[in-house]
Structure 1
Amino acid sequence: MSTTTISRPRQRNGANPPAPRRGSSTKRTTAGGGLASKLTVNGLLIIGCAYMVVPVLWLVFASTKNAADLYGTSAYAFGSFSLFDNIAAVAQQDNGLFFRWLANSVLYAGVGAVFGGLISVMAGYAFDKFQFRGKDTLFGFVLVGVLIPNTATVLPMYMLASVFGITNTIWAILIPVLCNPFSVYLARVYSASYVPGETLEAARVDGAGPIRSFFSLGLPMMMPGYITIALFQFVGVWNNFMLPLVMLQDQRLLPVSVGISIWQGYSVPQPEFTPMVITGSLLSILPLLVAFILLQRFWKSGLTAGSVK
């Protein structure tokens, strides 16, 4: 019995080319879509950075100009390098009143950051870890307070300050900044992210009370969140304008934001005030830059709280 072997015919070169792999087109599409998304995201980031950095750059260039250079040179060109002359003029105006305004802003913002941030952290910690009657209702009022703009509360606070006779005093500014609804909300988020309930339960077993547990365990664990809240409080109080404008009449108690606005009003009939307004604005942002640079390792970690479970 013979066996016949059938051989497959040879393929000519170029005939029946191998079919392309199915994944290659998908990879090209994914690569094209990834490139487009990167360009979009980076473009938006560049626009956002320019929106924030360009005014500061203009402030740096303009602070080197005198009143004539401000209107006779390009916006982003150095003037006659009158920066030190402008600083000297700011220091000499009204016997150095600008630096009194700067010290007032540091006082108001510092108290609001340190003590106001601590109160907010304590409140957020209590809302997260404690169980008490009306907890959800009270926290609902906190969320409502987040939605109310600060300018809408200025007049009611002025009425209350008038009743207690503390208008035109530093207490009219310090007391309202001791607590912020948004900071309380953030503190509750940080407490849920940083402080595990098992650690507090172990502390209770060891005999630690609620206050000791907070200051010995809760607050150190929430320190990145506390620093972040304190920075938000510092910036918010530093930029606060309406509250001191309504509460204070004594110029020696004004913060730098209101003081510069007064000089801005003087610059309309007296153009020589314009370089001082610009230079004072540049000097007024230096404390904010110093605070963010010194505390950046804390607020960078605090901003990512709750992003990873």
Structure 2
Amino acid sequence: MSVLAPARRPKPAPATTARPPRRPWTLSRAAVNGALVLATAYTLLPLGWLLTAAAKNTGDLLGGATLTPSRWHLGDNLRQLATTGDGIYFRWYLNSLLYAGIGALLCAFVCIAAGYAFHVYAFRGKEKLFGLVLLGVLVPTTALALPMYLLASKLGIVNSFWAVFIPSLVNPFGVYLARVFCAGYVPGEVLEASRMDGAGELRTFWSIGLRMVMPGYVTVFLFQFTAIWNNFFLPLVMLSDNRLFPVSLGLFTWNSQTHAFPEYYPLVVTGALLAVVPLVVAFVVLQRHWKAGLTAGAVK
């Protein structure tokens, strides 16, 4: 009687360590860091030129010696800026702060209130009305300058503070952005609990809704502050009194006179440097509020 030998199992193939696929050189850490450095340098180069050019006199600016650190005249330029036209530049500066500061505060509040209403309340024709608001985003502001001028002429406010201030209170994109923020930060359960505690609608919005959506308020404020501060075409159409000019329009008038009066070159460059300061300060001071309410709408 023969005994069958057990079949031998084939030996497993030796395990091979799989190497991760090599990333292309365009995605390597050195390439990405180099691209970021180039992008940063490209962004900061105009600001660096402005910092050095603001400390040059007319001869250095016209001679192309703006980046040489040999001669600095920043103090002289500031004194000349403060005395030219009886200090008209700082009046333009104050006008821009009033237009942009107060206008952005009120505009952000109006946008948040409108976005809150679109998110919380249900009323007839809500989506159609919101679509009409979005339609306003597609219309460029330059196309509205002439109709607004004719309307301001009918109201008799042309060449006044209100001709520039009142249009800055409207921002259709801010309403859209506010509704998006309200949808993410304001849960209906919290509002319902507030109503059950006896709070009215205005009290609920002021004490709960507005505080929850504060990062959205800051975002809309910064967008509108930047837009109003850089606004040029609307003041150009509305204003003829140079005492009401914002900084952007005032520097434009000086720059248009540099061919006849070259001494305005340092004033324009130094004034442009000072005009950047409020924007930088606003973004640096308010950026922390963007992170303050990331969990404000959480329901426990």
TM-score computed with the length of structure 1 as normaliser:
0.87
* Deviation at residue 64 of structure 1 after TM alignment: 1.2
Amino acid of the structure 1 residue aligned with 2:188 = G
Q: Are residues 146 and 300 of structure 1, via their aligned partners in 2, closer, same or farther at CA, if it must alter by over 3 Å? A: farther
User: How big is each residue's C-alpha offset from its partner over 1:128-163, in whole Å with a ceiling of 9 and x where there is no partner?
Assistant: 111111110111011111111111111111111011
Q: 1:182 aligns with which of 173, 197, 209?
A: 173
2:138 alignment partner in structure 1: 147
Alignment of 1:292-303 (within 5 A): 292-299=283-290
Q: Is the 8 A contact 2:116 2:178 kept in 1?
A: yes
Q: Would the alpha carbon gap of residues 112 and 78 (structure 1) be closer, same or farther in structure 2, given more than 3 Å must change?
A: same
2:275 is the alignment partner of 1:279: no
Deviations 1:83-131 (A, max 9, x none): 1101111111000000000000000001221111100110011111111
| Residue matched to 1:249 | 240
Matched residue SS, 1:189: helix
1:168-204 deviations in whole A, cap 9, x for unaligned?
1111111111120011111001101111110001111
Q: Find the counterpart in structure 2 of residue 121 from structure 1.
A: 112
Residues 64 and 79, structure 1, Cα contact 8 Å, conserved in 2: no
TM superposition shift of 1:300: 5.3
TM-score normalised to the size of structure 2?
0.89
Contact 2:92 2:247 in 1 (8 A): yes
CA distance in 1, matches of 2:294, 2:279: 18
* CA deviations over 1:223-269 (Å, ceiling 9, x no partner): 11101111111000000000111001110001000000000011111
Following the alignment from structure 2 to structure 1, what is the Cα–Cα distance between the partners of residues 278 and 45?
A: 19
1:20 maps to 2:20: no
Structure 1 vs Structure 2: percent identity of aligned residues? 51
Which amino acid letter does the alignment assign opposite residue 289 of structure 1?
A: V
Report how far residue 42 of structure 1 moved: 4.5
Letter in 1 for 2:170: C
Structure 2 gap ranges (5+): none
CA RMSD, aligned part only? 2.8
TM-fit CA distance, 1:52: 2.7
Structure 1: gaps (5+ residues) = none
* Residue identity in the other structure for 1:151: T
Contact 1:168/1:250 (CA < 8 Å) preserved in 2? yes
Distance 1:205 1:290 in 2: 42
* 2:219 aligned residue: 228
Change (3 A) 1:172 1:41: farther
CA distance in 2, matches of 1:61, 1:305: 44
Q: Which amino acid aligns with 1:234?
A: F
Equivalent position amino acid for 1:28 in 2: P
Contact 1:168 1:247 in 2 (8 A): yes
Shift of 1:273: 0.6
1:134 to 114, 125, 130: 125
Does 1:202 pair with 2:193? yes
Deviates more, 1:291-300 or 1:257-266: 291-300
Query: Do the aligned residues in 1 keep the contact of 2:56 with 2:66 (CA within 8 Å)?
Result: no
Q: Per the alignment, in what secondary structure is the counterpart of residue 175 of structure 1?
A: helix
C-alpha contact (below 8 Å) 1:129/1:197 kept by paired residues? yes
Query: Which residue in the other structure is 1:61 paired with?
Result: 52
**Which of 201, 213, 216 is the matching residue for 2:207?**
216
